[in-house]
Amino acid sequence: MNAESDERRDERRPAVKTGTPGTPGGAGDGAPAGGDGGAPAEPALGSRAPHFIKRSRPLHISWQVGVFVVGLAVVVAGIIMLPLPGPGWLVIFGGMAIWATEFVWAQLVLRWTKRKVTEAAQRALDPAVRRRNIILTTVGLVIVAALVAVYLWKYGMTMPWNAGR
């Protein structure tokens, strides 16, 4: 993906959003407003730094380094939270969102992740999948209950603090 194609896409995007007659994606050419069949338009890729920062190259690079360091700290904190108590994955995705404010690669990763999560949620809500999951959960609970019953039948109900008596 090159910068030239991104600029052309950004120039078309307002016309697609408004749906004005006579513009690409507008009501005048027979295409539905919204351009791609009513799906919400994705925001343009690229830096979301304030304009005065983007004007100065040294300031913009400093801004990007700062965003990268803050995002890295958040992602590392999330990775540390994976085995420890805490919302590890949520913090990791928060760090990715921080990176996505400045870096196109992080924006693309977040778009891919959002798409996959949406697809997984739609699959999980499918009645056949829900029925299968309920059946598997019930079978698993029956097996665990049977194992607990066999253990209690064989060893009885002895509390750990009374085991030595």
Looking at the structure of the chain, the number of domains it has is 2
pLDDT in tens, 115-127: 998 998 888 888 8
Residue 23, in any domain of the structure: no
Average pLDDT over residues 124-146: 92
| C-alpha torsion angle, residues 115, 121, 122, 123 (rounded to 10) | 110
| Beta strand spans in the chain (E) | none
119 with 150, same domain: the answer is no
Cα separation, 28 vs 47, whole angstroms: 33
Q: What pLDDT does residue 165 have?
A: 60
83 with 146, same domain: the answer is no
DSSP 17-55: HHT-TTSTTSGGGTSPTTSSTTPPPPPPPS----HHHHH
Q: Quote helix, strand, coil % in the chain, to nearest 5.
A: 70, 0, 30
137 with 79, same domain: the answer is no
pLDDT in tens, 51-98: 787 788 888 888 889 999 999 999 999 999 999 888 988 999 899 999
81 with 91, same domain: the answer is yes
68 with 116, same domain: the answer is yes
Task: Tell me which residue range forms the domain holding 147.
Answer: 126-159
53 with 121, same domain: the answer is yes
134 with 121, same domain: the answer is no
58 with 121, same domain: the answer is yes
pLDDT band at 40; cut points 50, 70, 90: low
